[in-house]
């Protein structure tokens, strides 16, 4: 096997591997499901840390307020997403096939 043949075989293998990686990370339908599950987990964490934003009293709000400077960007996006009822109901309806 010549060097040119080995390079061609390596490039073919690399091309196949990269095509599979792209399909698995970007185009595969499971990617959207995984992204939604991660967003749901983030929503649950933020609601557990900052329930006062929605009028739910919490005895640990004093301690979780220390996290706010670190989660400022995520907090604003989370609050906007949860206050937009149409998108939240639509997402949950898709999750349970309504």
3-state secondary structure the chain: CCHHHHHHHHHHHHHHHHHHHHHHHHHCHHHHHHHHHHHHHHHHHHHHHCHHHHCCCCCCHHHHHHHCCCCHHHHHHHHHHHHCHHHHHHHHHHHCCC
pLDDT score of 82? 76
Instruction: Read off the pLDDT of each residue in 2-28 and give the average, rounded to a whole number.
Output: 86
How many residues are given for the chain? 98
pLDDT surpasses 70 at 67: yes
pTM equals 0.57
Contact 98, 90 (CB under 8 A): no
The token pair that represents 81 in the structure block: 């997403």
pLDDT reported for residue 15: 92
Q: Please, which pLDDT band fits residue 11 given cuts at 50, 70 and 90?
A: very high
Answer yes or no: is pLDDT of 48 > 90.
no
- Look at residue 14 and tell me whether its pLDDT is greater than 70: yes
How far is 79 from 81, CA to CA, in rounded Å?
5
């Amino acid at each position: 096997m010549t060097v040119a043949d080995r390079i061609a075989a390596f490039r073919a293998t690399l091309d196949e591997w990269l095509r599979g990686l792209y399909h698995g990370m970007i185009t595969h339908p499971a990617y959207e499901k995984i992204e939604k599950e991660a967003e749901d987990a983030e929503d649950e964490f933020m609601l557990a840390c900052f329930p006062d934003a929605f009028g739910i009293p919490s005895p640990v709000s004093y301690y979780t307020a220390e996290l706010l400077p670190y989660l400022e960007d995520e907090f604003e996006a989370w609050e906007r997403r949860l206050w937009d009822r149409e998108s939240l109901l639509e997402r949950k309806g898709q999750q349970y096939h309504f």
